[in-house]
Chain A
């Protein structure tokens, strides 16, 4: 079987373009990405079905008009129909989510995760604190080990923000000054 190069190349380009669009933060581009990507994949399935021929099943009962031309493979077409329905539903859902997100936040960007930001901020805090302590230890060696970490027995770091009034790690920040 020799697949059509044009179909395969078009499918590949559409898939690539769809993936690029899916990586965007804007939800409306994401919808377009879903559509482009699924069309590209459908073309690839069609390529997998071999060269085009006469209408499958129906043409078998008709008198031979152009002998030598075989029937097309019906199975990829059935699979593409199913895939089209599924990607239509997915795209509709993403569109609904984009609308809802726009109503809630005023734009259609995907936000950062709050908990990820917390972990990142804490690790940055830790690095800053450590460099500061090292700097002080160089300036005044008696400082080293004189102050102990408030929650050093708890590497996971569980800030009891309810007790200190301020979110984050107020004790560590206060200690540095």
Chain B
């Protein structure tokens, strides 16, 4: 049954290859292939989650080589949870992209490039979540990043090339730092297998393991856009096509957060650098949300709120307690969904209002009430209005923080509340200006589309429904997150799954 584990990586790659072979024709067939492949990934992810929750971590040794030598894929609760939510989000964004394709064919999105690359991105994301050794994690990151380089500079317009260059340079530099960290850990321990590393790192002298930990955390923090390594994000995301920005905002930064979680639990337990993490979290929250307040473009504003909300996740990791970790896992799931939705809705606003600059928008509540609803629910969710999932995640973080106490943690709790209110302010500003404000007299931009493609609305609406489901199923989901956190803090089961017959140390 463990043969299911590699499929989330293999299926999208196969589908991408088939689509390239088919060539430019048979659009309907290619859409069907994409939907079937990603739907199958979602189904497999759900099966993996059920099995991982019931029987503990599932591992598979690729090629039959035993663990320390071969490549291991592991699906534990955290991996499987991330996989389920990511594949659901990827599928919804794909549906949205179909709607956009039909609406503006050949405008600035070469479809024959977009769809196979998008599938490769999905494969890279799945590989990063399932990787059981650090080097395979690096390969997963690189698969995803190579695809994202193509997607962020799609069609090669001046704005995208400029934004893409910044993005590529930062991504390359952080990847190289990741490789250096792998080299350091390999030189010190002689392995890159995470289960084996978790045992051997504990025996290293403290300075050596701090060097490895700091290098890994810096690499992941650059990918997750934690302040002060966040400056590239609001600069490079907004100019890409809407589906691309949405999936980047939802997933790519969260993979960095996933890396931070793994580093701080399985590899380097004990929270030696938690002061650094907490300070970085506080600064990310405040700097991000202050940046969001001065923006007049909806997409840039959302990019800044993304940076500020990464701070919440790092806060939970920095607490280094089971409660904080559980809240972080819940918050990551919530934020993947909600941030993707908001960027998709920004695309709808663009289409209905003729632009995303607040200076040119107005009166959308009257002309496009459906877009209003689709914006309002996730916006309130991001701001943390009860009973939506953003409130549940923040509540969990604040309770974990208050339980821990201490001056720095108290400052973070206060910072988290302030950030939440300021996020609400920034989003209400968008609401007032774009939806309630009077429409501008003359529109200098593109004329707004008369009606929205069904698929675009359906993709966004499905994600809104998913985010509401987090509230409806809040109790069981939060329980699952708590079990995932407990599993992370006690990597015994993880090690046993990778080395069933012992011999790990």
Cβ of A45 and Cβ of B182 under 8 Å apart? yes
A48 CB contact (under 8 Å) in B150, B183, B360, B426: B183
Cβ of B187 and Cβ of A48 under 8 Å apart? yes
Q: A90-B146, A115-B295 are in contact. Are A22 and B169 (CB under 8 A)?
A: yes
Cβ of B297 and Cβ of A47 under 8 Å apart? no
Q: Which one, A61-69, A130-138, A152-160, is touching chain B?
A: A152-160
Q: A45-B186, A48-B187, A90-B172 are in contact. Are A162 and B294 (CB under 8 A)?
A: no
Q: Which one, B156-164, B266-274, B401-409, is touching chain A?
A: B156-164
Cβ of B180 and Cβ of A44 under 8 Å apart? yes
Give B238's nearest chain A residue, CB to CB: A115
Q: A156-B294, A158-B358, A163-B440 are in contact. Are A38 and B235 (CB under 8 A)?
A: no
Give B169's nearest chain A residue, CB to CB: A22
**Residues of B with C-beta under 8 A to A86:** 139, 142, 146, 175
B297 CB contact (under 8 Å) in A19, A22, A115: A115
Give A104's nearest chain B residue, CB to CB: B158
Cβ of B183 and Cβ of A158 under 8 Å apart? no
**Residues of B with C-beta under 8 A to A76:** 183, 186
Interface size on B, residues (CB 8 A): 50
**Residues of A with C-beta under 8 A to B429:** 156, 158
> Interface SS of chain B: helix, strand, loop or mixed?
helix
A47 CB contact (under 8 Å) in B153, B187, B359: B187
Complex CA gap A56/B414 in Å reads: 57
Cβ of A110 and Cβ of B182 under 8 Å apart? no
**Residues of B with C-beta under 8 A to A97:** 153, 161, 164-165, 168
Cβ of B184 and Cβ of A41 under 8 Å apart? no
B335 at the interface (CB under 8 A from A): no
B149 at the interface (CB under 8 A from A): yes
**Residues of B with C-beta under 8 A to A22:** 169, 172-173
Give B445's nearest chain A residue, CB to CB: A162
Give A44's nearest chain B residue, CB to CB: B183
Give A46's nearest chain B residue, CB to CB: B183
Cβ of A19 and Cβ of B162 under 8 Å apart? no
**Residues of B with C-beta under 8 A to A162:** 359-360, 440-444
Interface 0/1 of B171-215, CB less than 8 Å to A:
011011001101110110010100000000000000000000000
Cβ of B235 and Cβ of A113 under 8 Å apart? yes
Interface 0/1 of A95-115, CB less than 8 Å to B:
001001100110000110101
B296 at the interface (CB under 8 A from A): yes
Cβ of B294 and Cβ of A119 under 8 Å apart? yes
Min CB distance A122 to B, Å, is: 8
Give B177's nearest chain A residue, CB to CB: A41
B77 at the interface (CB under 8 A from A): no
Q: A48-B186, A163-B441 are in contact. Are A34 and B172 (CB under 8 A)?
A: yes
A70 at the interface (CB under 8 A from B): no
**Residues of B with C-beta under 8 A to A15:** 176, 180
**Residues of A with C-beta under 8 A to B358:** 158
Min CB distance B54 to A, Å, is: 34
Give B179's nearest chain A residue, CB to CB: A41
A155 CB contact (under 8 Å) in B142, B293, B296: B293
Cβ of B296 and Cβ of A157 under 8 Å apart? yes
Min CB distance B134 to A, Å, is: 10
Give A90's nearest chain B residue, CB to CB: B172
Give A167's nearest chain B residue, CB to CB: B359
Complex CA gap A34/B440 in Å reads: 47
Min CB distance B383 to A, Å, is: 16
**Residues of A with C-beta under 8 A to B275:** none
Q: What 15 additional pairs, Cβ within 8 angstroms, besides A93-B149, A94-B172, A159-B359?
A: A22-B172, A44-B179, A44-B180, A44-B183, A48-B187, A82-B139, A86-B139, A90-B172, A100-B153, A110-B165, A115-B300, A157-B296, A162-B441, A162-B442, A163-B441
Name 8 interchain pairs, CB-CB below 8 A, sorted by A.
A79-B192, A100-B161, A105-B158, A155-B293, A158-B296, A158-B433, A162-B359, A162-B441
Chain A to chain B: the 6 pairs with minimum beta-carbon distance, closest first: A48-B187, A45-B183, A48-B183, A44-B183, A48-B186, A41-B179
